[in-house]
């Protein structure tokens, strides 16, 4: 088919695709604005120039073009985001990340290798979207532990989840769509492990790339709040109590500062009414010991969520029950010069009772502290590190005794929710795996259960609905529908394949792979698979190659949406946490698409005896 086959509709859609890609690449234009612009352009154009079927109905009416906003895949993604938020809040992920760090032997590359291989294996059997949702905070924890920006690590997470889905039939919804197209064409559906061997070769190639090359191409970029906190270099004084289940009991104090408490500086040890100062010689930890430490808020937060059994002191009020609910948010605040807290002891003030909060530690600006923290008198300018709940934040903002440091607000995992969150998550996975419910129903039930059982609040669930994800997926689906109804997708595919002429089957297969891979980065992978499946089957039959090989080629090529962030949902999921821009995916993803294409060309035709 030649260029004369292009219609006015085709030229319009090609121009719209190019304009959208250029707009997505600009940092000063929000992605959601571009996405909605694409949808609006399609609505206006196909209202003025409708494509009519044999009954005179517009194939691209507003109802058809806007159907993407109610697409089951999109709703499933949003519901799974709520489920993932519940799992994250429960602290289960902190336990997993701690195990990864324990096995990493203090080396970043080992921690990442363990994490990415785990993602690869899980993604082969589960939808990769919840896998990425689960591992985002784990990778963030690894980044924080090794003082590396998360922007160096999160794109590799997305890429490995995608290639993990290439290895089995259920690894991706794209694979199932291709298998259904094959079945509808009169062939046997793809087997569960039919393309596992070549899939593992491509996955192994990707693993080597994200470990060795991708980090060199990715930016050193962090969020604004993270940069401000890191620049502050603020250390707090806090008290840590040895519980009866502590892993530190019996260990030398000097040895603990080289291992578990390596990020904490022990200033004093309080034992049976006596205070000991360093060096602690051969002293060992005993149950009930209270140690005063100096540490960054990051190290204190890590201690709060760890399982070492050394917990921050339960507060300076008479009863912990007064602030039982104050265990979800950690925030910094400064004592003002006119504050009624000035010259008061923390233990004597009613600050914790008034705000239902818990003072974890403080930064004293006037002199060295040599006594228990609850006996220290506060001064103007002292910084308090406080644990509280969402309701307490509101009252703290209105308290003239302190100034809240807004950027320092950080939500903590709530370990008491772990069983509820884990049960709901596993129920969703089992319902999908055993085909009790389709993924959209299971995901929505899971999201509702997370809210109903108070794992997440309704407000928190609403906050997880990312407008960027909604708009870009809906725009991609609308664009794909327009390309299919107008015949533009077939024209573009045939134009690319026409260049192969009478070449060998290996060349035709390679060219077809490249055409699908390019298109997968411009429209959604599922749309790409649906559009190219009949084309691939026809080409296979025409040149005498088993059409199943072309179907498998579509599975691999359609999943190669690495060069743009909007064609695959996992890329959209890591954009915010990694502070990524469009150009970052272009830099890191384009070489990977080329490498996978070359490896595919060298291995797959040989593997299938072409």
Place of tokens 């004597």: 348
Residue 144's CB is within 10 A of a number of other CB atoms, namely: 16
The closest alpha carbon to 156, from 603, 580, 599, belongs to 580
The closest alpha carbon to 478, from 45, 27, 165, belongs to 45
As given in the structure block, the two tokens for residue 74 are 């999109």
Helix (H/G/I), strand (E/B), else coil: 97: helix
**pLDDT score for 326:** 43
CA pair distance 536, 558, nearest whole angstrom: 12
Give the Å distances, CA to CA, from 202 to 166, 248, 250, 552, 553.
8, 45, 50, 13, 12
The DSSP line for 415-480 is: GGGHHHHHHHHHHHHHHHHTTSS-HHHHHHHHHHHHHHTTSS-HHHHHHT--HHHHHHHHHHHHHH
**pLDDT score for 266:** 78
Enumerate the domain spans of the chain: 8-65+92-222+467-607, 233-412
- Taking the whole predicted model, whether its pTM rises above 0.75 is answered as no
**Side-chain half-sphere of 531: how many Cα atoms within 13 Å?**
32
Before 279, cis peptide (omega within 30)?
yes
What value does the CA radius of gyration of the chain take, rounded to a whole number of Å? 28
Angle 162-163-166 (CA atoms, 0-180°, nearest 5)?
A: 105
Q: Which residues contact 527 (CB under 8 A, 6 or more apart)?
A: 476, 477, 479, 480, 481, 483, 484
**pLDDT score for 597:** 96
**Side-chain half-sphere of 269: how many Cα atoms within 13 Å?**
18
Q: Tens of pLDDT along 169-178?
A: 877 777 877 8
**pLDDT score for 595:** 96
State the helix-helix crossing angle for 196-212 and 547-558, rounded to 10 degrees.
20
Q: Tens of pLDDT along 359-390?
A: 777 777 655 555 566 677 888 888 888 877 77
Long-range CB contacts (within 8 A, 24+) of 392-399: 392/326, 392/329, 392/355, 392/356, 392/357, 393/329, 393/331, 395/354, 395/355, 396/331, 396/333, 396/355, 396/357, 399/354, 399/355
CA pair distance 205, 208, nearest whole angstrom: 5
**Side-chain half-sphere of 147: how many Cα atoms within 13 Å?**
6
Residue 608's H or E segment, with its range, is none
Place of tokens 């990864």: 100
> Which stretches in the chain have pLDDT values below 70?
1-5, 25, 27, 73, 91-98, 101, 126-127, 130, 221-235, 257-260, 262-263, 298, 302, 304-328, 365-374, 406-416, 433, 489, 492-493, 496-497, 500-503, 524, 527
**pLDDT score for 262:** 66
233-412 adopts what CATH topology? Alpha-Beta Plaits (3.30.70)
**pLDDT score for 324:** 45
Check: CB of residue 413 under 8 Å from CB of residue 91. Answer: yes
């Amino acid at each position: 088919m030649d260029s004369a086959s292009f219609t006015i509709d085709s030229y319009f859609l090609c121009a719209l695709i190019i304009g959208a890609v250029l707009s997505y690449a600009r940092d000063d234009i929000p992605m959601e604005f571009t996405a909605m612009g694409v949808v609006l352009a399609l609505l206006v154009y196909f209202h003025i120039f409708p494509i009519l079927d044999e009954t005179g109905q517009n194939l691209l009416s507003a109802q058809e073009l806007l159907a993407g906003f109610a697409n089951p895949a999109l709703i499933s993604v949003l519901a799974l985001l709520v489920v993932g938020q519940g799992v994250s809040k429960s602290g289960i992920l902190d336990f997993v990340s701690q195990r990864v760090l324990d096995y990493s032997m203090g080396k970043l590359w080992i921690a990442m290798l363990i994490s990415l291989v785990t993602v690869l294996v899980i993604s082969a059997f589960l939808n990769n979207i919840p896998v990425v949702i689960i591992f985002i905070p784990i990778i963030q924890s690894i980044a924080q532990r090794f003082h590396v920006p998360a922007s160096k690590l999160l794109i590799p997470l997305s890429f490995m989840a995608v290639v993990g889905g290439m290895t089995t039939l259920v690894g991706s919804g794209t694979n199932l769509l291709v298998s259904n197209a094959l079945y509808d064409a009169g062939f046997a559906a793809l087997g569960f492990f039919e393309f596992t061997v070549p899939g593992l070769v491509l996955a192994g190639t990707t693993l080597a790339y994200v470990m060795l090359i991708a980090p060199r191409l990715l930016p050193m970029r962090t969020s604004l709040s993270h940069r401000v906190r890191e620049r502050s270099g603020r250390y707090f004084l806090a008290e840590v109590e040895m519980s009866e289940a502590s892993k530190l009991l019996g260990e030398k104090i000097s040895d603990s500062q080289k291992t578990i408490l390596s990020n904490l500086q022990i200033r004093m040890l309080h034992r049976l009414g006596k205070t000991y100062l360093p060096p602690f010689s051969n002293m060992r930890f005993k149950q009930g010991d209270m140690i005063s430490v100096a540490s960054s808020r990051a190290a204190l937060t890590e201690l709060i969520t760890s399982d070492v059994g050394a917990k921050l002191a339960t507060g300076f009020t008479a009863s912990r029950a007064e602030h039982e609910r104050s265990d979800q948010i950690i925030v910094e605040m400064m004592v003002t010069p006119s504050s009624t807290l000035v010259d008061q002891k923390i233990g004597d003030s009613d600050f914790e009772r008034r705000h239902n909060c818990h003072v974890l530690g403080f930064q004293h600006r006037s002199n060295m502290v040599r006594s228990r923290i609850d006996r220290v008198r506060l001064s103007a300018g002292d910084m308090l590190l406080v644990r509280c709940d969402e309701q307490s934040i509101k009252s703290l903002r209105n308290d003239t005794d302190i100034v809240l440091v807004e950027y320092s607000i950080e939500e903590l995992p709530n370990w008491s929710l772990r069983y509820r969150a884990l049960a709901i998550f596993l129920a969703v996975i089992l319902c999908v795996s055993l085909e009790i419910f389709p993924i959209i129903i299971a995901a929505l039930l899971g999201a509702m259960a997370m809210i109903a059982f108070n794992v997440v609040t309704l407000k928190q669930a609403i906050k997880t609905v990312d407008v960027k994800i909604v708009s870009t997926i809906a725009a991609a689906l609308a664009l794909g529908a327009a390309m299919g109804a107008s015949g533009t997708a077939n024209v573009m595919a045939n134009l690319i394949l026409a260049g192969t002429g009478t070449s060998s089957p290996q060349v035709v297969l390679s060219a077809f792979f490249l055409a699908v891979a390019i298109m997968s980065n411009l429209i959604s992978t599922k749309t790409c698979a649906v559009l190219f499946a009949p084309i691939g089957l026809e080409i296979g039959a025409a040149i005498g190659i088993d059409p199943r090989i072309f179907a498998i080629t579509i599975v691999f090529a359609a999943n190669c949406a690495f060069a743009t962030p909007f064609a695959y949902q996992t890329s959209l999921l890591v954009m915010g946490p990694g502070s990524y821009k469009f150009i970052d995916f272009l830099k890191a993803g384009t070489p990977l698409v080329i490498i996978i294409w070359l490896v595919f060309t060298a291995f797959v035709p040989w593997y299938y005896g072409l």
